[in-house]
Amino acid sequence: MSESPKKYRLDRTAFQARNASEQVNYGKEHQKLTWQERMRIHQYLNSIAYGYDLDNPPRMDKTFFQIKKRE
């Protein structure tokens, strides 16, 4: 058997179980923030999800996209 099941373990204390009404109240807490503060939180979560440095985000690869004219 490989070591991977022993190496990675789920930390069950990191999250809390919530019902639907508690989740709605959690969102209301963030509505009190300004849009700039919410944008900072969004940028931070994106940097964690996609694994890039927050101070040095990757540039968009503009060669991937193409512009085509419709006829």
Is the pTM higher than 0.75? The answer reads no
Distance, CA of 30 to CA of 10 (rounded, Å): 27
Q: Which residue has the higher pLDDT, 10 or 69?
A: 69
pLDDT at 1: 44
pLDDT digits (tens, 9 = 90+) for 7-57: 656 677 767 777 777 666 667 777 888 999 989 888 888 888 888 898 898
Residues 62, 48, 22: CA angle, nearest 5 degrees? 120
